[in-house]
Amino acid sequence: MEIFSDLLAANKDFAASFKSEALTGQARKGLAIVTCMDSRIDPLHIVGMEAGDAKILRNAGARVTDDVLRTLVLATHLLGVNRILVMPHTDCRMASATEDQIHATILEKSGVDTRGIEIRTVADPLAALKQDLVRIESYPLLAKDMKVMGAIYDVATGLLTPIN
């Protein structure tokens, strides 16, 4: 536990001024954001929201995977989501190398052979975003009146560029 002591100490400070006890599991602003796990991305603040306003789904490359679709089904039918923003970003590691190169790098750095999993690298980020938007828009288990938008977040400027 010693290696996590900084986290536990920070949590005590957080809990001392905790003010979110009245929040529910509902997305107050009806939004779900699908974005990358990159730590430069602060999804709620990027779109002017705060805790409780939106559902945040993160993975490497901001891809719409089967698990993202599963989660969106729950969010749209049970948690008040009626808008989905798919938000990949500039300077993404998933767009900087091929699938084989990423596997080779992991093998070289750690000795672990990851070829048994799909990394889902992105050769063309714009094409991948458009494909993911179509995947959501055509998914039969989501509400038909769902609004979907894609936007690329620029990690150098903080700006969103809408893509649809």
Q: In what order do the strands lie in the sheet with 54-59?
A: 54-59, 31-36, 83-87, 147-153, 160-163
Tokens in use for 89? 């970003």
Rounded to two decimals, what is the model's pTM?
0.94
Question: Yes or no: is domain 25-93+123-163 CATH 3.40.1050.10?
Answer: yes
> What SS3 state is found at 13?
helix
> What SS3 state is found at 49?
coil
CB atoms within 10 A of CB 81: 25
In single-letter form, the type of residue at position 12 comes to: K
Per-residue DSSP letter, 121: -
Predicted local distance difference test score (pLDDT) of residue 48:
98
Query: Given pLDDT bands bounded at 50, 70 and 90, which one contains residue 144?
Result: confident
Q: What would the pLDDT profile of 7-64 be if each residue is shown by its tens digit?
A: 999 999 999 999 999 999 999 999 999 999 999 999 999 999 999 999 999 999 999 9
